[in-house]
Structure 1
Amino acid sequence: MNTSLGHLSAGQREMLERAVKIIVRAVRPEKIILFGVYSGAGDAGLHHHLPRELGAFDLLVVTREEERRSDYELQDIIESRCREEVAVTALVHDIAYVNRRVKEGQYFFSMAVLEGILVFDARLAPLAEAFLPDLEAVRMLAEKDFERWMGQSGDFFHSAEFLKGQRRRNAAVFLLHQAAEQCYQAILLAFMGYKPTTHNLDKLRRYTNRFSIELAVLFPRDTKEEEELFRLLSSGYVNARYKEEFTISAEELEMLTERIRRLLDIAERVCLNHFISLSKRATSG
């Protein structure tokens, strides 16, 4: 695997080294693969404060076969330990799972091995040999998955609009949460052929940041008002259904509705462009 960090600045290399040390101390992984670095640079004309995590490192943390803690528990440990010093978005899977997906030719895991950068290796177990997947097959599956999940997202969104009109605000915000969740899952399937099993909108949002600056700044969370708006959306999954004390104003619900409408519009556009790019790469050989 590639181990060169020449494309990173000295500051980025220092931050990455710090993150790797924290992760190794915290979870003793088998390997750590850097598969993305996103600073948000080069995207002009967007008058927003960029979220801190746009400087994040996207890491695939490969755990040892004898690891007994769940992937989700390890992910939370990694991200919480790193949070104060360096922004990290971590995907965690054990070595057996990663090797199985690589042998199957799964797009994300294959490309992580082929194009990612190995930044830590305990050398206790080898990675399976990766091969370039059939990009036309990847595109066809990605489009199929995207249409399915975006269709569900649209259904939830339109139902939320109906309930908003009926002044059933709590039910509407729950459906907006579902629309956002399904949309983020659709984006991940479009770009990676992979989606984590989580209802956590913050994690899903961070996973998709690197695909589009528009996605990244949609929920900037740089003010108390923005933080509260995202909190209302995130808590819609449980609290809006089960907590009597949960309330959302008509104005807040309207703002969330428009924000999710923009999310769906952005998803359609950036994923269509991605499918076009995949098709060109497939035909160019």
Structure 2
Amino acid sequence: MMKTSIDHVPLRKQRELEKVLEILHEEFEDALKEGTAEFKKRGRILKIILFGSYAKGGWVDEPFTMKGYRSDFDLLIIVNNRKLCDFAEYWHKAADRLNRDKSIETPVSFIVHSRREVNTYLKEGQYFFSDIRKEGIVLYECPSSNDLKLFGRGKIGVSGSVFGLI
């Protein structure tokens, strides 16, 4: 079972992550809104997983030093259909909004894959995805019901796996 707690992340950063999830969901829903194709009508974000330095606890947040470095939030978004991974079609507005939102100081990087792709990569033993499964933190998981609300600070998502390997 993957980790679900971000208690090791400062409260200010937890709030930023909450805003990031809100924007991702809003923009994805907007991108699907006008769709008539069946895959769009059934389009869902299944999981959003934090990986990288913020998941592992080794982030850097020193924007005012000589180096001026700030770690980014690395996110894996898992959707229920491969067609929904198309960045230009479904995700560019979210990326633009994340870059412009003044309440999000931490840069956000995200990749989008389908559940089938991720499970195939895990079965093949691809290190990148195996590392995310091992070190990543589930921030959001689509519950079995249609209730897609986020859950409190410290635990932005729900625990447990509703599908396959990840």
The alignment's TM-score, normalised by the length of structure 2, stands at: 0.64
What residue in structure 1 maps to residue 137 of structure 2? 117
In 1, Cα distance between equivalents of 2:48 and 2:12: 19
Count of aligned residue pairs for this structure pair = 123
What residue in structure 1 maps to residue 66 of structure 2? 47
Q: Pick closer, same or farther for the CA change 1:95–1:101 going to 2, 3 Å.
A: same
Q: Which has the higher contact order (CA 8 A, sep 6+)?
A: 2
CA RMSD between the two structures: 2.5
In 2, Cα distance between equivalents of 1:72 and 1:47: 34
What residue in structure 1 maps to residue 21 of structure 2? 20
Match of 1:68 among 72, 83, 98: 83
- Structure 1 residues without counterparts, runs of 5 or longer: 130-285
In 2, Cα distance between equivalents of 1:62 and 1:70: 9
Indicate if the aligned counterparts of 1:71 and 1:93 stay in contact, CA closer than 8 A.
no
Indicate if the aligned counterparts of 2:80 and 2:115 stay in contact, CA closer than 8 A.
yes
Runs ≥4 in structure 1, deviation > 4 angstroms? none
Which of 1 and 2 has greater Rg?
A: 1
User: Deviations for 1:132-176, whole angstroms, at most 9, x for unmatched residues?
Assistant: xxxxxxxxxxxxxxxxxxxxxxxxxxxxxxxxxxxxxxxxxxxxx
* 2:21 aligned counterpart, secondary structure: helix
Q: Pick closer, same or farther for the CA change 1:59–1:127 going to 2, 3 Å.
A: farther
Q: Work out whether 1:34 is the aligned partner of 2:50.
A: yes
**Offset at 1:72?**
2.5
What residue in structure 2 maps to residue 2 of structure 1? 3
In 1, Cα distance between equivalents of 2:94 and 2:121: 23
In 2, Cα distance between equivalents of 1:117 and 1:13: 12
Q: Where is the strand percentage greater, Structure 1 or Structure 2?
A: 2
- Structure 2 residues without counterparts, runs of 5 or longer: 29-43, 145-161
The alignment's TM-score, normalised by the length of structure 1, stands at: 0.39
Q: Which amino acid aligns with 1:79?
A: A
What residue in structure 1 maps to residue 99 of structure 2? 83
Q: Where is the helix percentage greater, Structure 1 or Structure 2?
A: 1
